[in-house]
């Protein structure tokens, strides 16, 4: 078990989460604002200049991303659906963010 200081992932949910239709199911995604913040924090983390508060925020967003990746995989499995024409799907979702889990080095 890893212990670390983080913003509670549940505190990000009211304003940072949206549901997005993907085939015949809905998946959890970050709002554009939260996705942008996540990417900014990831970039800043590479430079090593995150404040302790920003590190805690990044840890919370990363954990929420891992949770959603797991839940979305389970939803896709239950739906037994997989895109076969990604070009068609891409045209419907031009501004698409993907939640990914990344390893955080300490």
How do the pLDDT tens digits run along the chain, 106 residues long?
A: 677 788 888 888 889 999 998 877 889 999 999 999 999 999 999 999 999 999 999 999 999 999 999 999 888 888 765 555 445 555 555 555 555 555 555 4
The domain segmentation of the chain, as residue ranges, is 27-92
Q: What local confidence, expressed as pLDDT, does residue 88 receive?
A: 53
Q: What local confidence, expressed as pLDDT, does residue 95 receive?
A: 52
Q: What is the pTM of this model?
A: 0.70
Joined tokens for residue 104: 């955080």
Q: What local confidence, expressed as pLDDT, does residue 53 receive?
A: 94
Spell out the residues 6+ positions from residue 15 whose beta carbon is closer than 8 angstroms to its own: 31, 33, 34
Residue 95's nearest CA partner among 40, 42, 35, 16 is: 35
Q: What local confidence, expressed as pLDDT, does residue 34 receive?
A: 96
| Contact of 27 with 70, CB cutoff 8 Å | no
């Amino acid at each position: 078990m890893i212990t670390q200081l983080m913003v509670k992932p549940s505190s990000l949910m009211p304003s940072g989460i949206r549901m997005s239709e993907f085939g015949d199911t809905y998946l959890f995604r970050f709002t554009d604002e939260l996705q942008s913040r996540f990417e900014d924090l990831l970039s800043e983390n590479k430079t090593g200049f995150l404040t302790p508060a920003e590190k805690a925020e990044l840890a919370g967003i990363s954990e929420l991303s891992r949770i959603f990746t797991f839940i979305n995989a389970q939803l896709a499995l239950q739906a037994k659906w997989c895109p076969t024409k990604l070009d068609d799907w891409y045209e419907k979702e031009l501004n698409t963010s993907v939640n990914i889990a990344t390893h955080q080095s300490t």
